[in-house]
Structure 1
Amino acid sequence: MLEEAKQVCPTSTQRLVREGALLVDVRDRNEVAALAFDVPDIVNMPLLELEQRWAELPKDRDIVLVCENGTQSLKATYYLQFQGFTRVSNMEGGILKWMGKNFPVIGQRLQATTAGAACRGSTGAASDAACCEPTPDAASLRAGCC
C-alpha cells in the first residue's frame, strides 16, 4: 500500500527548488509553451510519457511535481511512489495557484482565480511563513491559508 502523497504549496515549492529540488511539470508541451514556471532546472515530462520516461528522474533528489491545478501532478506523484521514489511531492493548486501568488512565469498569465487569495491572511498580506508549509496548523487552515 502506498503512503499518502506529500503535498506542498507554491511557497514551499520555491524553497525546495532553492534547496536543490527538481521541478517536474507534467503538462503537455503545448501548455508549457504557452505558460511555464520561471524557475531554473525544470523538466517537462508530460503525464502521458511518464510511464516510459520515469527512469530519467533522479531518486536521490527531492522532486516536486506540478501541473495546471495539482490534479495531474498528484497522479504523477503516486505513480512515482509506486516506482519506488520516496522524495516526491505534489504542488497543490498547480500553476494557477503559483500565479495567484504572483510567482514568476514565462508566457501569458491567465486570468486571476480564487487561488490568488489562497495564502493571504485577513489583512490581504501574504502570510506564507505561517501557513504554507507541507502541513499547515489548524489556525492557518481557519485563516484560509494554503
Structure 2
Amino acid sequence: MTATGIRDEIVLPDGSRMILNTASAVSLHFEGGTRSVQLLQGEAYFDVAPDPARLFTVVAAFSEVEVKGTAFSVRTENEADTVVVPEVTLVDVAISYTRDDWRVALNASNLFDRTYVASCTYGCFYGEPLKVGLSVSKRW
C-alpha cells in the first residue's frame, strides 16, 4: 500500500515491473504457475515480463485483465475500472465481468491490428491480424 503522495516501483517475482500510484493497494498471488495481482484500491502501472505459457492477471473491482506480456495501467474507482494501454504497444487482452450468475468476456488479439514479426528463429513469420471475441454466459 502506498500513502497519499507516494509512488512505489516494485519488481514482481516473475520479473514484471509494477508502479503503484499514490494511495493505492494491491494483493499479489505468484505461486505455482499463477501470475496475478488484485488491485484493492487506486491505480497501478504494469510492465509485464513476457511469458506465453502463463497469463498475467490483474483483478480490480469491476474488471479482470489477462495478458501474456505488455504494458498497461489499471485504475479502480467507485463506479468503474479504467484500463489504459499505450497506443504503440502490441496487445492481446482478455477482460471479463461477472455479476450474480452472468459472465461477459471480451477477448482480443493484436488489438491495434499492427503488422509485426512474431518469430525469426527459422525464417520470419508475421503475427496474427486483429481478432475479437465476445461471450456471454449464465450459470444455472
TM normalised by structure 2 equals 0.28
Q: Which one has more relative contact order, counting CA pairs under 8 Å at least 6 apart?
A: 1
TM normalised by structure 1 equals 0.27
Greater per-residue helix proportion: 1
Greater per-residue strand proportion: 2
Q: Which has the larger radius of gyration?
A: 2
